Every structure is written in structure tokens, then in C-alpha cells.
Structure 1
Amino acid sequence: MNRQKSLFSLAAVATLMACNPNKENVQQKDIQLITVAPGHFHAALVQKSMYPEVDSIVHVYAPDGLELDAHLALIDRYNTREDKPTAWEQVVYRGDDFFEKMLQERKGNVVVLAGNNQHKIDYITQSVDAGLHVLADKPMVINADGFAELKRAFATASEKGVVLYDIMTERYEINTMLQKALSQVPDFFGGLVTGSVEDPAITKESIHHFFKEVSGKPLVRPAWFYDTRQQGEGLVDVTTHLVDLVQWESFPDQVIDYHQDIQLVSATRWPTKLTPAQFERSTGQKQIPSFLSEAVDENGNLEVFANGEINYMLKGIHAKVSVIWNFEAPLGTGDTHYSIMRGQHANLIIKQEKEEQYKPVLYVESTGTRDRQAFESTLTKAIKQLGATYKGLTFEQVGDGRYRITVDPSLVTTHEEHFAEVTEKYLGFLQSGNMPDWEVPNMIAKYYLTTKALAEARTVRSDQTN
């Protein structure tokens, strides 16, 4: 997106205040949130923290039902917790015409979207057409048709001076930040190798679980979450994060032109099977609903195409991303992440296994191009260089040519805390009227790859489509 004029002129603020004539004795702030159809808990995580520039009154528009109730209950828990309680006031409209009502009333200027992905692109395009900013949970789109609409939405957003952005929380995980930072120290890393399909220059693998806890309580999934026509397949869901990180780490601050810079090599997909008992445990529903009947196998198990792998080239560098969904993590574990960036002189590896107590840890590994003394010397210089930015940055040898990287514990934040960091970044864009020129083309490139990979995988394994 090109640099824009200030997004909040006095006239715009006055117009927005006129939309809320009943707000008396309350200082209205420039940014007012509108939450639309919050069917995913990520919508609530945006409000786990308060923001000085954001009005405490949030207008919520959604169909009546358990999903809305769960969202409001989670916000209430944040408001009533003992440690740093929030002070959100939810003004709720319940009804099947929720989206039309939202557009009619325009009770705010930033639409927050996190829920059923089937209609998300429709909500995005209509909100942008109406001149509303949009902060959307991933994925913005789940198929090629949606991708075409997304490109149009970004063009309209540019014309109208509004900001359309997706929630990329993984950029704020400290080990990923350090992996990126170390890869950008040429004397130490030596630049990415080209790699190959068999041994890519950069690999990212993610394992997730359908049954988990959120904010200390078991997560109840809506039944539609298991319908890939509504949620999207694994290739276009979690892989959005992984593709984003490949671009963000490997070519920081650079524009990715999907026409020239991305070549899809291969894509595959496969299902996770859930028993009826697992489905009930996850959703609370005793029977698998009829809209999922086509995904039920001969044994009565639900097949969800949540798993996938994409091999591709980005600016001439081989990359691979893959995602796996299991039902539940073993006791004491959780979602895990593996990543490697292979450089001329060093490999940067993030692991999250038993050895790491299932918490992400960054390792540096010598490729053997330098002797031990020379490698440790360049590593020491790199750590010293980055130490001004990352408090307590150190390394220790844990094997022959292998070192563990650590930082001060204050820099380690949780996945839930990352939502506030993304939101703060987005609010900065809104207030300054500027967003880096590479953000929009790189979002477009990301969704081009995921939707193209899905189309390719369905062609290769058409017998598995549901």
C-alpha cells in the first residue's frame, strides 16, 4: 500500500461521533471497534488487552447463538479477572441481518473479523467498500475465487484510504524474531543457500490440535469448524502463518511479486479422522450434523482435510511449509513448531519437542565451512550486535558445533499475548496513516500461494476431496 494521508481527519472523527449520539459524558476516542460474527476465539483475544487510542465501547453484530454467547463470556472474563482487568463495554445486536445492520448503523470505524471463513471475504469486501478499516483473522480467503475478490478489496482499500490487514501473530514469537535477525547478519549467516525440493533452504512445520485449552478453559469448537467449505482446508488455514514467516524472515522489507517471485513446485493434502466421541468432546454435539455427512467415512468417522504440504520457490530459494492437525496433544504438551533456515555458514533451527519441554527454543548450528574458533567468533559478534535490541541475548554450546540461543524471560510472550502486539502494530498504521509498502503485495502473494496450492493438491488427489 502506498503512503496515505492521515486516516483520521477531524471531519471523519466528527462524523463517527455523530453516529453515536447516545454516548454522553464519555470521551470518545478516534478508533472504535466493530466485532462482526465472532465465531472464533481469536476475536476475543484482540480484546484481551486495552489500548489507549481505542474506545472502550465495542459494538458487536452477530446472529444469536452459542458462538456469540461464548465470545461475550470470554470478554466478561477479561473484564472481571484480578490481574489487569479490562473495561470493555459490549453493545450487542443479535439477528440474522447482523451484517446489514452493521453497515447501516456504522457504530465504529474498524471491523474485527474472526469466525466462519466461508463468508469472510464477503464481509471484507463490503466493509472496505463502505470505507471501514478491517482487521481480519487468518485466513482472509480459502479458495481461488476468494483470492480474486481479495485483490479487488485491497485495490478498493487503497482508493478509499482504509487499512485492510490480517492478524499474523507468529511474527511476535521471540525465537522467530531472533531467527530472522540472525539470518540478516551476513558475516555470521552467509545468506540463505538455494536448497532443493529434497532439502529446502527454509522449512516450517506446524502441529496443531483440535481439542485444547484457551485462557485456562477447554475450547468448544463450533461444528462448522470441521467443515472445510466453511473453515477452509489446512493448506489455506494455518499455512497462512507459515508462508507469511517464510517471506517475512527470508526477504524482510522486500516486495514479493507473486507473478514473478513465486513458483509452486508441489502441494499435497490428507485428512485427520475424528471419531464420533471425539467430535462430541470437541463440539458438545452428540451427533455429527448433516452438513458434514459427505465427510463421514464408512466407519462413521469424520474426515477433515486439515493437513497439507507446499513445496515452492520464493525468489529462487526452495521453501517448504507443512501443517498437521491431531485431535489432542499428549499430556503436558501442546501445539508445536519446527523451523530451519539454512545458511552458507550456519543453520538456524527452532525446535519445540520434549528436549525443549515443548517450548520453542532457537539453536544455531555450524555448517562446517569454518572451524570452531572462527564460527564462535562470528557468533559472538552477531550476538553482541543484536544484544542492543534483544535484552539478555546469550548463547551456550550444547553439542559439537551446536549452540542454544536464549534471551531475558521478559521478552518471551505467549500466543495469546501476541494478539495485542499485532493489534498495536495495526493501530500504529491507523494513527500514522502509513503502512510499509511491502505489506499489501506480500499479503496478496501469501494468499495467492495458499489458494493455488489447494487447487493443485485437489487436482493431484481428486479422489480425496470432500
Structure 2
Amino acid sequence: MKNFKYSLILSLLFLACNKKGAKQSDMDLKVDSLQTNKKITLITLDPGHFHAALVQKSMYNQVNDTVYVYAPAGDDIKNHLKLIDGFNSREKNPTNWTEQVYSGDDFLQKMIVDHKGNVMVVSGKNNRKIDYIKAAIDAGINVYGDKPLVINPEGFLALEEAFKTAESKNLLIYDVMTERFEITTILQRELSMIPEIFGTLIEGTPQKPAITKESVHHFSKNVAGKPLTRPTWFFDTKQRGEGLNDVSTHLVDLIQWEAFPNQTLKKSDLEILDAKRWATTLDKEMFEKVTGATTFPDFLKKDVVGDQLKIYCNGSILYKIKGKVAKTSVIWNFEAPEGTGDTHYSIMRGTLSNLIIKQGKKENFKPQLYIKLKNKTDKINLQKQLNKALSVTLADKYQGLELKSVDELTYAVIIPEKYKIGHEAHFGQVTKNFLEYLESNTMPEWEVPNMIVKYYTTTEAIQFVNKKNSI
């Protein structure tokens, strides 16, 4: 009898605990369910930029086919869904996404309450992005964010706090650095790590930096084979950011990733030497062509001079990082000449050779990696080392690389076409990388510290320009 009473008491306690557990928030239950299923479910928040859709240009084994989308009503969400529908209906390798959409002014609060997924994808108005990131992390949702995560010093401080919160909650914040997957950039980095070829990175000067990254972009372009319609807010530097703190994020990231591979950086490693900004001018016809809007909206009137819109989307940063002089430059033109597109230039200056990426007319506007030796007397030995690097050292990862002599000291690296997959395909590669980090619940030790240094660099450049312009 005593055993029966004891068993009864235990049973009642068990039921009580279950009832208590049943009072857990829906959020906790949904997270538990996701972990049990070992599935990743995406939430897309306020997708104002087409990069959010490019994350879904591919399917992923770990990711549920259903994506939950929360956004305000308007053209941004319509354009996003149109791109997803295009991926689903294409003839070659169609995707199979199902979009569950909530559209309303309370989209952020609704996302938090519903808690339908465990990864928030965010790509849109950059002035709001840090608020979205903080809300997601506070709610226990990982963040996969398009660059830039922040565009001003206040946002940077909030981002530092978000990283601390994410660490305490065992969550990840990761930004979409597609340019690390461009093959000429990969090989530039790989060759710079072979001292017999590159030597070591020079310290550089403001006139001749140790490493330079320059990119040219265009407002009018095709995405997924169709003309891109850009939202009107994209032309407002208060909402989107400008050259110094938007596209420069990629260039600063590449400088860190290539010049200091697998090294952990800190804010004290950085010194801004100079920063500049300048405008690109669009008339009403140009603006209508890329947005569909026949007039400039009120929030852009501050940037209208006469009947032309001046957008301060161009910028350059000259800085030192760990004693090496580096430079970034971002230029936005309206439209690329026929047969061309966005272009990239890069140079890493070593003690034995320079590694140069060009994408001009001579290269048919395709990225081409060159190796320029610094000394004729080292030519024979360096040529042997180059052949060894391409045929042995790098052959396991990148088969079929060849050398072609351009002049007495310069060689072009001939890269098989299979590695030249294009910018849009890089989104799938970055996403697979992130999913691996998510499943293992870890990232390289240097990733978060270096993200912090990256955004410190771009936001410090903004402060530098603002102070310079106020004098």
C-alpha cells in the first residue's frame, strides 16, 4: 500500500511538472520542435533588397521548403515574391519554395510572437537592420544578414551588444560576404600565403598601399536575367547608407580576409588616414527607368538640386590595419556599357611579386588574376615556384590552373570556366557555409571579432568624413 501511495505521489508530481512545462511560451516549444527535427526554417524579414531573394535561388537539404515572410505591404514584398516565383518556375533546376506571407505594419512584432523559424534572413533598409537584428537575437533567432549590418557609429555600438547577447544565447549572427567566393579573389589569397611566390605583404604608403580594393557598380542592371527594379528608398543614403558604409563593407572584409588570413583582429589595429565621398547624379528619366517612379519622393527632396538627384553613393577609405596601409574605393555609375557589368580591381603588393585582379576591356570585363614579378633576377626560380603552386600545392582544391606569360615579368593565371560561377551563385555558397556553422553551432574564432573590426572601420570612416566636412 505504501508503495502504491508513493507511486501515486510521483505520478501526480510528474503530471504537475508536465502541466508546468505546458505553460512554456510558444516560442520555446517551437524552438524545441525545430531542434528535434534537425531542420532549419527561414524567416525573411522586410525584404527590401533583391539579395534576400538570391539566398533562395538554391535549395538546401537542411532547410525547410516553407519560408515565413514578414513585411510591410508595398512594392518591396511584391518584388521579392516575384523573384522567388521566378526561381520556382524556371525551366532548369527549379526551386520548390513555399512562401507564407504576413503583411502589415506590425510585421516585426508578429514575427517575434509567431516565432516560426530559427534563422532570420534580412536584406533591406540598412538604417533599420540593427533593430531587426537585436529583436531577433533577443527572441532566440539566429541572424543571416546581408551587408551592411550597420551604417553609423550608434548602430555599431548596438551591434557589439548584439554579438554579446548572441554569444550568451548560443546564437549566430553572420553577414553575407559573397565576394570571398569569387575564384580570382580566392586564388589571390591562396598565392599570397605562399612566401616563395609572394614574399610578405609590404607595409605600403598612402600613394602605394599594401592592398587596394576598388569596385564599380551600376544602378541599372539585370538580376536573374531580367531588368532590376530598385526601390526608391535605395537612393536615400539615410536609409541605405553610402559608398563608405555599404559596398565598402565587402572591400574591407576582403582586405582583412586576404591580408590577415585566419587571424583575429581588434579595433586597436585600425587607424583611419583619410576618407572621401562624392555624388552620382541621376535625372528623372534615369530614376524612372530603374524605379518606375515618375517623380522624386519627398524623402529624396533633400538631395535634389534643380531637377537632378545627387546621391552620395561613392566613397574611398585610406587606412592602416596592423601597420599595413590599405585602400578601398566604391563607384556607382548609372548604367554599364553594353556587354559589361560591375567590375572589380585589386592589388596585393608583396616583397617578391604583386597579385593583381583586373576586369577591364582587355579582360573582356571578366575578372583576371595576374602575377607580376618584382625582379628579373628571381624570374627563373619564381616561375618554378609558380608552376609548383598551380600544379601541386593548389591542384587538390583547384584543378586545371595554368600560367600564361603576358610580358617579361607578368603572368596571367588561366582558370577553368567551371570555377567562374558568377555573383548570384555565390549566395548559395555563402549560405551553405552559414548552414554548416549553424549545424555545428560554431564559427572560426576570428569571424566575430573581425566582423566587429570591419564595421568599426566603415563607421569610423563615416565619422571621419563628417568631421572633415564640418570643419
**Could you state the TM-score of these two structures normalised by the residue count of structure 1?**
0.93
1:277 to 285, 288, 291: 285
Q: In structure 2, the residue corresponding to 1:230 is in which secondary structure?
A: helix
Q: Is the 8 A contact 2:27 2:113 kept in 1?
A: no
The one of 349, 352, 373 aligned to 2:356: 349
Residues 1:368 and 2:375 aligned together: yes
Q: In structure 2, what is the Cα distance between the partners aligned to 1:29 and 1:14? A: 15
Residue pairs, 1:80-159, within 5 angstroms:
80-159=89-168
Paired residue secondary structure (1:370) = helix
Are the equivalent residues in 2 in contact too, given 1:44–1:74 (CA < 8 A)? yes
Which of residues 419, 424, 431 is equivalent to 2:432? 424
Over 3 Å counting, the alpha-carbon distance change for 1:82 and 1:14 in structure 2 is farther
- 8 A contact 1:29–1:54 mirrored in 2: no
Deviates more, 1:374-383 or 1:408-417: 374-383
Q: Secondary structure at the match of 1:34?
A: strand
- Identify the residue that residue 16 of structure 1 maps to in structure 2: 30
Give the C-alpha shift of residue 16 in structure 1: 2.3
Higher RCO structure, 1 or 2 (CA under 8 Å, sep 6+): 1
Per the TM alignment, residue 319 of structure 1 is displaced from its structure 2 partner at its CA by 0.5
**Does the CA contact (< 8 Å) of 1:364 and 1:403 recur in 2?**
yes
Percent identical: 51
Equivalent position SS for 1:128: helix
Partner Cα distance (2:423, 2:177) in 1: 11
Equivalent positions of 1:367-386 (< 5 A) are: 367-368=374-375, 370-384=377-391, 385-386=393-394
Q: Which amino acid aligns with 1:53?
A: Q
Q: CA deviation at 1:13?
A: 11
Give the unaligned 5+ runs of structure 1.
Answer: 1-11, 21-26
State how far apart, in whole Å, the 2-side matches of 1:236 and 1:433 are.
29
Q: Does the CA contact (< 8 Å) of 1:13 and 1:30 recur in 2?
A: no
Which residue matches 1:444? 452
How far apart in 2 are the matches of 1:127 and 1:198? Answer: 44
Shift of 1:118: 1.5
Q: 1 CA distance for matches of 2:377 and 2:119?
A: 52
Give 1:43's aligned amino acid: A
1:80 CA drift (Å): 0.9
- Deviations 1:351-408 (CA, angstroms, capped at 9, x unpaired): 0001111010100001116332122122222223112221111111011211010222
Structure 1 stretch 125-134 or stretch 382-391: which is displaced more? 382-391
State the alpha-carbon separation in 2 of the partners of residues 253 and 459 from structure 1. Answer: 34
Residue 69 (structure 1) aligned to one of 68, 71, 78: 78
2: distance between equivalents of 1:17 and 1:419? 26
Deviation per CA, 1:149-175, whole angstroms, max 9, x where unpaired? 000000000000000000000000000
Aligned counterpart for 2:255 among listed residues 243, 246, 262: 246
Deviation at 1:15, TM superposition (A): 2.6
Give 2:405's aligned amino acid. Answer: Q
The correspondence for 2:188, drawn from 179, 192, 209, is 179
Structure 1 residues 390-399 or 49-58, which shifts more?
A: 390-399
User: 1:171/1:159 Cα in 2 relative to 1: closer, same or farther (>3 Å)?
Assistant: same
| Contact 2:40–2:119 under 8 Å retained in 1 | yes
Which whole-Å deviations, capped at 9, do the CAs of 1:282-315 have from their partners, x for residues lacking one?
1100000111111011x22111110011001111
What whole-Å deviation, never above 9, does each CA across 1:225-258 have from its counterpart, x for those lacking one?
0110100011000000000000000111100111
Is residue 2:406 matched to residue 1:398?
yes
- Note the aligned Cα RMSD (angstroms): 1.6
Aligned positions, number: 444
Structure 1 distance, partners of 2:46, 2:274, is: 35
Match of 2:434, as an amino acid?
Answer: Y
Deviations 1:78-133 (A, max 9, x none): 11111111100100001010010000000001000001111100000111111100
State the distance in 2 between where 1:406 and 1:173 align.
14
Equivalent-residue separation in structure 1 for 2:29 and 2:374 (angstroms):
60
Instruction: Pick closer, same or farther for the CA change 1:343–1:82 going to 2, 3 Å.
Output: same
Structure 2: gaps of 5 or more residues: 1-25
Determine if contact 1:188/1:379 at 8 Å carries over to the other structure. yes
Match of 1:37 in 2: 46
SS of 2:370's partner is strand
Moved more, 60-69 or 362-371: 362-371
Counterpart selection for 2:325 from 318, 325, 339: 318
Answer yes or no: is the 8 Å Cα contact 1:19–1:106 preserved in 2.
Answer: no
Q: Which moved more, 1:27-36 or 1:271-280?
A: 27-36
Question: 1:374 and 1:29 mapped to 2: Cα distance?
Answer: 52
8 Å Cα contact 1:234/1:323 also seen in 2: yes
Report the AA paired with residue 29 of structure 2.
T
The amino acid of 2:312's aligned partner reads F
Tell me, what secondary structure is at the counterpart of 1:85? coil
CA separation in 1, counterparts of 2:230 and 2:416? 35
Does residue 418 of structure 2 align to residue 410 of structure 1?
Answer: yes
Report if the CA contact (8 A) 2:376-2:409 is conserved: no
Instruction: Find the counterpart in structure 1 of residue 467 from structure 2.
Output: 459
Q: Name the aligned partner's letter for residue 172 of structure 2.
A: V
- The answer to whether the aligner puts 1:56 opposite 2:65 as a matched pair is yes
Q: Whose radius of gyration is greater, 1 or 2? A: 2
Instruction: Name the residue aligned to 1:166.
Output: 175
Contact 2:126 2:151 in 1 (8 A): yes
Q: Structure 1, residues 197-233: CA drift from partner, whole Å, max 9, x if none?
A: 1100100000000111100111111110011010001
Aligned to 1:7: none
**Residue matched to 2:342:** 335
Any conservation in 2 of the 1:170–1:241 contact (CA below 8 Å)?
yes
